[in-house]
Amino acid sequence: MIYCHYNKELIAYKKYISNYDYIAHALGGINNDKNTNSRDALENSYSKGIKLFEVDISLTSDEELVCINGWSKDVYNETLEIEYNKENAVMSYEQFMNTKIKGKYTTMSFKDLIEFMKVHDDIYVMIDIGNQKKKKTKNIYEKIVQESNNDSKILNRLVINGNTTDMIKAVKEVYDFKIINLYWPSKADRKDKKIDTKEEFIEYCKENEISSLSTSLKTYKKEKDTIEYFKKKGLIVYVFTENDENEAKDILKDVDVVGTDFI
């Protein structure tokens, strides 16, 4: 094990996830649609007994937090299914909240998600804000804390995700989050010099009280031995995303939790 001690919130979380194999990617699939991050998806997943969720959070043009995986052309074409306007791609809060995802699903703000967590105090949510610079990371997490009203009952049930050491540093400057996840990228994308090797990654996690890592399905398959090494060293390991149940069961022999849309 890589940790000499655990905070009580992390102990509770490790015990909690031992009962679950899957985490709902982008709040889970619904009606064969995925990546919606919608209220409908969240409610549908919860009704099926899902208690672990991953959600994408982005800023609107007027600096409000909403549940969507950015404002790229792909998001417009494949998720929102509306025309992409490069000049005004980032929606305002009002625009987004009045948009129907794929013409039928209800959009959700981060405040809406918090309200759901208040009512359903048996869920944990992993936050994904993408790969951001330190300044923007800090801005987003300051808003997350503010909109949570600094409520530890909410904040201690967030799995905070960072893609780089700069993002982790920003997170730690904002709040004493208890459950922190660090992304393990593919070799081609491994640009953070502080964590170039698996040994450096483990040491960094130990020094910064990081309890888990997430990685892509593609990276897991290419670096299976490395991912198994991380688990043996005591890190919680998530792999995203697999929708074939038999394949997922094989992956679960090596990791703790598999991200899925439909299982």
CATH 3.40.50.2300 applies to domain 8-70+110-260: no
* φ and ψ at residue 40, rounded to 5 degrees: -60, -45
- Confidence tier at 188 by pLDDT (50, 70, 90): confident
User: Is the separation of the CB atoms in 240 and 211 below 8 Å?
Assistant: no
pTM score, whole prediction: 0.96
Q: For residue range 189-199, list pLDDT tens digits in order.
A: 887 877 889 99
- pLDDT score recorded for residue 2: 56
Average pLDDT on 14-29 reads 96
Contacts of the segment 139-143: beta carbons below 8 A, 24+ positions apart: 139/59, 140/57, 140/59, 140/65, 141/170, 141/171, 141/174, 141/175, 142/174, 143/59, 143/63, 143/65, 143/110
Predicted confidence (pLDDT) at residue 25 exceeds the cutoff of 90 = yes
To the nearest whole number, what is the mean pLDDT of the chain?
A: 95
- Confidence tier at 6 by pLDDT (50, 70, 90): confident
